[in-house]
Amino acid sequence: MTSKDKNTMDSQKRDKHIDAVGNLLRDLGENPDREGLLKTPARFIDSMTFLTKGYKTSPEEILKKAIFHEDYQEMVIVRDIEVYSLCEHHLLPFYGRCHIGYIPNGRVVGLSKLPRVVDAFARRLQVQERLSNQISQAIQEHLKPLGVGVVIEAYHLCMMMRGVEKQSSYTLTSSMEGVFRNAETRSEFLSLIRPRSHN
């Protein structure tokens, strides 16, 4: 983590939060002054600051920096974008893959901007359903394609480590905008993002 990341919170607030984490460790039965935990509260605060940096990131600015006029009206798909986020209910991670498809309407966006938009929303306290909607709606609003499809497959540690403790289950969500709400377009998109055969 860079010093720039740590400096996104003023020192007075940071110190207050570090003290709170130390008190929590103490209440859990630990000794926050022992060697292994001495810097843990500060590391935790710095980690949370990094993992929620999406609140300070503008998806609109990301997309506007790389929009190009192009006469292309077939589906564009970026598959297997890694997703790491925090469940807002338990502050435990969920992680997986995001697939994005869109059909241009005279404009395309630089391919690297789509994973950046995913990160801008994923690096917040989230639920997977809302994350899917936010990604598709941002692309639809700022790129103005004929339509957008977003599918996220994710494993949730709040289900795997606690609660029902089902390690093999994962959650699949989708969000469709514009022509992707048509059965034919949706079907084409879903068939193209299916796992590829390695045979």
| Sign of the dihedral defined by the CA atoms of residues 93, 94, 99, 100, in that order | negative
Task: Name the active-site residue from 17, 90, 137, 142.
Answer: 90
What strands lie across the sheet with 147-156, from one edge to the other?
Answer: 125-126, 76-87, 93-103, 147-156, 171-178
165 Ramachandran zone, left/alpha/beta (phi>0; psi -120 to 50): left
Which two three-digit tokens encode residue 84? Answer: 């790491």
Task: Name the active-site residue from 89, 129, 141, 167.
Answer: 89
Task: Name the active-site residue from 30, 137, 142, 158.
Answer: 158
**Single-letter residue type at 130:** R
Q: Which of 62, 60, 142, 135 minimizes the C-alpha distance to 101?
A: 135
Residue 137 among the catalytic residues? no
Q: Which residue has the tokens 């990604």?
A: 135
Residue 98 among the catalytic residues? no
d(CA 94, CA 121): 13
Task: Name the active-site residue from 126, 128, 134, 140.
Answer: 128
d(CA 24, CA 49): 18
Residue 87 among the catalytic residues? yes
Which two three-digit tokens encode residue 165? Answer: 């403790």
Task: Name the active-site residue from 88, 129, 141, 167.
Answer: 88
Q: How far is CA 42 from the centre of its chain?
A: 24
Task: Name the active-site residue from 87, 126, 140, 177.
Answer: 87
Q: Which of 87, 84, 104 minimizes the C-alpha distance to 152?
A: 84
Active site residues: 87-90, 128, 156, 158
